[in-house]
Amino acid sequence: MRLIDLSGEIFQKCPTLPNHPPVTLSAYQTHETSREAEGVKFSCASLFLTLGEHTASHVDAPCHFDERKSALSIDKMPLEQFYRPALCLDLSHKPLKSDITVSDLQDAEKRTGETINENDIVLIYMAHYDRTFGTPSFLTDFPGLTKESAIWLGKKKIASFGVEALSPGRPGKNNFEVHLVCRDWGFTHMEGLTNLHKVVGIGRFQFAGFPLKIRGGTGSPIRAVAIINDSEK
Ligand SMILES: [Zn+2]
């Protein structure tokens, strides 16, 4: 068994969208300051971390994009939704700032030689991280899903999909519409994934990306991992 880390790093001032809080990460206590109890000296280090729920690799809870009282918060979502068979579609040929169409997704599914099944997790590799991370383009210039291509995923009754950008649709109308499709078709998505090139072309694998149990949370950072069982290949 191999584990592939698909998570982005959380660090001081890591990129966040303007409608989410910034990340601060700083020393709270260090080994320079030791304490003493009954003659025993001890030092420990810890950091002070503040962040929004939608930081780095994270998953959206339905209550993020669905105002109805019945929409689940992150702590109420079934854990099974975060540990599912997965497939990664290769959309890395798409130019930055382009729309991913239904036929783009259909072609990419065909190229995997597999079929997207009900309750799968579908990862969508757009080579966005490698092309833009560390530049302002990371937050705005990704290829994105549209209402139609999101509905195509919804009709397949997937559990969720995941992208490298911090939004699934291009900024503005498309991004709002993709979130509304998730609301209306009963699935969700993960944003801010990395290393998707490592799971393209390998067929089906197991995905794990558990959220923190944030009471009433609208989303949560996840440690996204692909679990590859080589003995089955
Ligand atoms: Zn989202």
Give 168 Cα–ligand 1 centroid separation in angstroms.
6
Give 190 Cα–ligand 1 centroid separation in angstroms.
7
Mean pLDDT of 192-221: 98
Mean pLDDT of 31-43: 91
Mean pLDDT of 56-62: 98
Please, what is the average pLDDT of the chain?
A: 96
Mean pLDDT of 92-115: 98
Out of 33-42, 56-65, 107-116, pick the least confident.
33-42
Compute the radius of gyration of the chain from its Cα atoms: 19
pLDDT at residue 34 in the model: 81
Give 82 Cα–ligand 1 centroid separation in angstroms.
15
Whole-angstrom distance, CA of residue 115 vs CA of residue 129 = 26
pLDDT at residue 232 in the model: 55
pLDDT at residue 33 in the model: 87
Element (H, E) at 148: helix 147-155
Reduced to 3 states (helix: H, G, I; strand: E, B; else coil), residue 29 is strand
Residue 179 confidence (pLDDT) above 60: yes
Give 160 Cα–ligand 1 centroid separation in angstroms.
11
Tell me the two tokens of residue 69.
Answer: 């009282």
Residues 6+ apart with CB under 8 A from 38: none
pLDDT at residue 128 in the model: 96
Alpha helices in 24-146 (DSSP H): 62-65, 102-112, 128-132
As a 3-state breakdown, the chain gives helix, strand, coil percent values, each rounded to 5, of 25, 25, 45
Tell me the percentage of the chain whose pLDDT exceeds 90.
97
Give 90 Cα–ligand 1 centroid separation in angstroms.
20
Whole-angstrom distance, CA of residue 118 vs CA of residue 184 = 17
Give 179 Cα–ligand 1 centroid separation in angstroms.
6
Residue 230 confidence (pLDDT) above 90: no
Mean pLDDT of 190-194: 98
Domain over 58-232 is classified CATH 3.50.30.50: yes
Give 188 Cα–ligand 1 centroid separation in angstroms.
8
Neighbours of ion ligand 1 (CB under 5 A): 60
Whole-angstrom distance, CA of residue 179 vs CA of residue 181 = 5
